[in-house]
Amino acid sequence: MARTHQREQARNLRQQRVRKRVRGTDARPRLCVYRSGQHMYGQVISDESGKTLVAVSTLSPEFLSGQEKKTANIAAAKEVGTLLAKQCQEKGIVQVIFDRNGFLYHGRVRALAEAAREAGLQF
């Protein structure tokens, strides 16, 4: 229990350090990524208006359409990134600020970011 608590505290400190500098506006919202043990979540947030503009996860119906897929791997993160970028483009969002939310930039977080870039988001 103590080890999990220390890991959680370290992530919260990293998250606060990043959030001091990263702010999403209406013109350039913030792309926030969260990864749990089983799922990936990505949402585009405008901090000025305090609203979530676009949200996609491995629990979304767009992701789960068709057959059962694994939700906690790099392939799933890539698919979430491309779905997120497509929904952003439909709403007219082209530029975002990337917020890794205290997670290290590798593995699933990196895969989601690179897939969003390849699908057309600029950050």
Cβ(77)–Cβ(109) below 8 Å: yes
Q: Is 101 helix (H, G, I), strand (E, B) or coil?
A: coil
Distance, in Å, from the CA atom of 33 to the CA atom of 103, rounded to the nearest integer, reads 8
Per-residue pLDDT tens over the stretch 84-118? 999 999 999 999 999 999 899 999 999 999 999 99
1 pLDDT more than 80: no
| Domain definitions of the chain by residue range | 2-118
Cβ(81)–Cβ(115) below 8 Å: yes
For residue 103, report the phi and psi dihedrals to the nearest 5 degrees. Answer: -85, 150
Pick the CATH number of 2-118 from 3.40.50.2000, 3.40.1190.20, 3.40.50.920, 3.30.420.100: 3.30.420.100
